[in-house]
Structure 1
Amino acid sequence: MDILLNVLEEKKIDQKITISGSKSESNRLLILQNLFPELSIENLSDSDDSVHMQHALSTDDELVNIGHAGTAMRFLTSYFSVAKGRETVLTGSDRMQNRPIEILVNALRDLGANISYEAKEGYPPIRIKGTEITTDKVQINGNVSSQYISSLLLIACKLENGLEIELTGKITSIPYIKMTLSLLSQIGIESNFEGNIIKVYPKKSIEKQTIVVESDWSSASYFYSIVALAEIGSEIQLSAYKKESLQGDSCLAEIYKHFGVTTTFGDNFITLKKETETQKEALVINLKNAPDIAQTIVVTCFAESISCSLSGLHTLKIKETDRLVALHDELSKLGANIAVTNETLELDITSRIHKNIAIKTYNDHRMAMAFAPLALRVPIQINNAEVVTKSYQKFWEDMQQLGIKIDEL
């Protein structure tokens, strides 16, 4: 489905939006719930990724296809490795079969897991024969997707001797590792993280309890962008959020001050308000701890005619698409002067935005959503707009609630 977003006529916005639970928290908790049935979850994400995760955890089929769900691929690789007596072939979409899994597989093999590749070495699909793992120490590169590390942490408490993980090299995406450890702590699993060593202690059962998932901060980023581009005095209330968030993307509240957006924390909600004009000096920031908001930030800078220099983006190369190349190509079509490397992005000031440009989304939900706020500046076409359901089912409905008119092409 291709859609045309027409320019928002009323630039002053005052709306309330409810966003579903964090995909990152939900998928971690779904694994933990299957390891510990005493755990109940509320405000679960309605994203495609979490739906795929729930299906994979509930089926007895040997072949498990998780589509585009990268988090599910990584977390389930470890989960099925310790599902003693079960044999699983874990696969996904064409893109997923070209996203590397070797670093995680090697770490699990070092622990004693029985995993083999069905096709291309180092990539899904993989065949996993569940077994009992007693080895309690492993090394893994810290400068990779934190999901590899979280995958190991989620099963660590179910290993007979627990698990000690030594992270080698520079450690990135620490907030996501801390999110996993915090969720373990909430359900009563002991761990510690000192220097480059993480230790998780074994736990056979937990007390019966319920965890309420905080709404997704990555999804909130698009509303930060919209408020940044709206008239002064515009505000959007988003629920359900809390000040002491586990999510690294909550740094949005600080970053978007540059665009004149303030964040007020209420009782289980936040209010975003456009207080002042955007600062005209360049935005220079390292996003190693929150790379998923890079696309939103770059598009906001482009729309506000300011330059930016973003670093710490190396993990964007192995997402649903190569997000750095995709940003370069699509923003260039709109008239941007942009340069990317394997881990950085430089955007120069642009005085004019080209109208009615068709944005390719490359099967990447964040490409579709990050470019949507440009409708406050120019009419813009989004191709394969349905891709947003990967993380945000109601995204286009919520855009219409804000007053953006959408025509299906």
Structure 2
Amino acid sequence: MLEIQSLKKLKAEVDCPGSKSYTNRALLISALAEGCSRLENPLFSDDTHYMSVALNLFGAKVVQENEGFTVTGTGGKLRAPGEDIFVGNAGTAMRFLTTFSALAPGTTILTGNERMRERPISDLLTALNALGVSARSMENNGCPPLEIKGGGVSGGKVEIAGNKSSQYLTSLLLSAPCFKGETCIRILGDLTSKPYADLTLDIMSAFGVRVENESYREFRVPANQCYQARTYEVEGDWSSASYFFASAAVSGGEVAVRRLNPHSPQGDKQFLFALEQMGCGIEVSEKKIVVKGNPLHGININMNTMPDAAQTLAVVALFAKGKTTITGIANLRIKETDRISALANELSRLGAKVIAGDDYLEIEPGVYSGAEIETYDDHRMAMSFAVAGLKIPGIKIKNPKCVDKSFPDFFERFKKLYE
């Protein structure tokens, strides 16, 4: 358990770690490329570790060295792994590797921890079966562990629901250049978290693959394309930066974050504009992003395009005048934990007035007192409520090590706020 020390006002500069979303995509793409790629400024975390270990089992050679990864690719010619692949609670690794496994001859078993075995993936399995792949939930409940019988994918037309997770689409897109023919993916309903699809198309293009995007309704991957090995610098993670921006907002102080791309397609970049709506001052430049805290007021906001920042904003709402309503967050219920329920529990524990719905939260300020915060083994719960501890004395974070999933040195960097 870690107690967070409250702070009256702060002025600090911090460096942002590499993006988890970009790192895992870059690792998988480099494993499919022909030749040797160098990934600079990647994120080293539990999730990226699970991905790199799995890719080695498929025949790629992923080596961590000199603060980066060197990846010797397979040219799309994978080997069957000689053992079950365990990914802990790494949702991106599980989903991306599900389609990737179909390229390997033989049978692949993908499994994870107890929470991963509760996280649904049936829509992706249905799509793969429609493409001729034998892909099934081994317990017939639509969740891992999964059995994938691979040996190549012909390509063709396939439909997938867009309203649950954009990672299903990304899983298909990332491996589609290695399918035998052209692939057309039609989205049923509205696509959730569209910026993550933009991020996927951005990195595929960087490695030499073209995808045609028809207004997020249909994605076409032409045949006879191959990823080109290259040196690739992973940009900073806007989700990770959100905790430092929020620290400025709740303390009335000023925080500058370096190593961010102000032109990034990452959806959590929009968190800046949410803070601006609430009253913060924002300064954006190529070298750093600065947030200045001012008196805050509640807002109504749809966070469908930035779901990973929803917990951070919910904590900021504790210190705003009036009610804040966060909508468009239904998929938070199938993340590392049911994040809507977790937020309602812990915000209420501190003294806030909270109403939780299927896809929304309403938060009104209350009279606060310190508490032991349950993290539910969710990295984003730990980091978000650390921010609350800057303002509310006596907050203790249970299982702070859960941040290893995406930001292992978070609390070391968080200490810079006190310097």
- Structure 2 residue corresponding to 1:354, chosen from 361, 364, 369: 369
Instruction: Note if contact 2:33-2:228 (Cα within 8 Å) is conserved in structure 1.
Output: no
AA partner of residue 380 (structure 2)? R
Please say if 1:89 is aligned against 2:109. Answer: yes
Measure the CA separation in 2 of the matches of 1:120 and 1:105: 11
Find runs of 4+ consecutive structure 1 residues off by over 6 angstroms: none
Q: Is the CA contact (8 Å cut-off) linking 1:150 and 1:177 kept in structure 2?
A: yes
Tell me the amino acid that sits aligned with residue 277 of structure 1. P
| CA deviation map 1:102-143 (0-9, x unaligned) | 110110111011223322431100111222111311000111
Aligned to 1:228: 249
- Counterpart residue number, 1:101: 121
Shift of the alpha carbon at 1:53?
A: 0.6
Distance 1:211 1:203 in 2: 23
- Contact 1:62 1:87 (C-alpha < 8 Å) held by counterparts: no
Give the CA deviation at 1:269: 2.9
* Superimposed CA distance per residue, residues 288-313 of structure 1 (whole angstroms, 9 cap, x where no aligned partner): 11111111101101133432111101
Q: CA deviation at 1:37?
A: 4.0
Question: What one-letter code is carried by the residue in structure 2 that aligns with 1:136?
Answer: G
Change (3 A) 1:62 1:129: farther
Residue 208 of structure 1 and its aligned partner are, at CA, apart by 4.1
1:269 is matched with which residue? Answer: 288
Distance in 1 between residues matched to 2:349 and 2:227, nearest whole Å: 54
Aligned positions of 1:155-304 closer than 5 A:
155-195=175-215, 196-231=217-252, 234-274=253-293, 276-278=294-296, 280=297, 282-304=298-320
Is the Cα contact below 8 Å between 2:209 and 2:225 reproduced in 1? no
The residue aligned with 1:3 is 2
Matched, 1:17 2:14: yes
Structure 2 gap ranges (5+): 58-80
- 2:322 paired with 1:306: yes
Larger relative contact order (CA 8 Å, sep ≥ 6)? 1
Q: Using the alignment, how far apart are the partners of 2:50 and 2:406 within structure 1?
A: 11
**Comparing 265-274 and 153-162, the one that deviates more:** 265-274
Aligned CA-pair RMSD? 1.6
Using the alignment, how far apart are the partners of 1:306 and 1:40 within structure 2? 49
Distance in 2 of aligned mates of 1:48 and 1:247:
21
SS of 1:237's equivalent?
strand
Taking only the aligned residue pairs, the percentage that are identical comes to: 37
Aligned to 1:113: 133
- The letter of the residue matching 1:366 is R
Normalised by the length of structure 2, the TM-score is 0.90
**Which segments of 5 or more consecutive residues in structure 1 lack a partner in the other structure?**
405-409
Q: Could you say if the C-alpha distance between residues 208 and 76 of structure 1 is closer, same or farther in structure 2, counting changes exceeding 3 Å? A: closer
CA contact (8 A) 1:114 1:131 kept: no
C-alpha distance 144-67 of structure 1, shift in aligned 2 (>3 A): same
How many matched pairs?
393
Structure 2 residue 70 is the aligned partner of structure 1 residue 50: no
CA distance in 2, matches of 1:46, 1:19: 13
Could you tell me which amino acid in structure 1 is paired with residue 249 of structure 2?
A: A
Q: Could you tell me which amino acid in structure 1 is paired with residue 398 of structure 2?
A: N
Matched letter for residue 192 of structure 1: E
Q: Which amino acid aligns with 1:315?
A: N
Between 376-385 and 313-322, the greater mean CA deviation after superposition? 376-385
| Equivalent position amino acid for 2:244 in 1 | F
Q: Which amino acid aligns with 1:3?
A: L
SS in 2 for 1:122: coil
Q: Is the 8 A contact 2:301 2:325 kept in 1?
A: yes
> C-alpha deviations, 1:212-231, integer Å up to 9, x for none?
11111111111111000123
Structure 1: distance between partners of 2:25 and 2:152: 21
Question: Deviations for 1:17-64, whole angstroms, at most 9, x for unmatched residues?
Answer: 112211011111111111114443211111211111111111243211
* Preserved CA contact (<8 Å) 1:295 1:367: yes
Question: When the two structures are superposed, what TM-score results if normalisation uses the length of structure 1?
Answer: 0.92
The correspondence for 2:27, drawn from 30, 33, 50, is: 30
Q: Which residue of 2 aligns with 1:407?
A: none
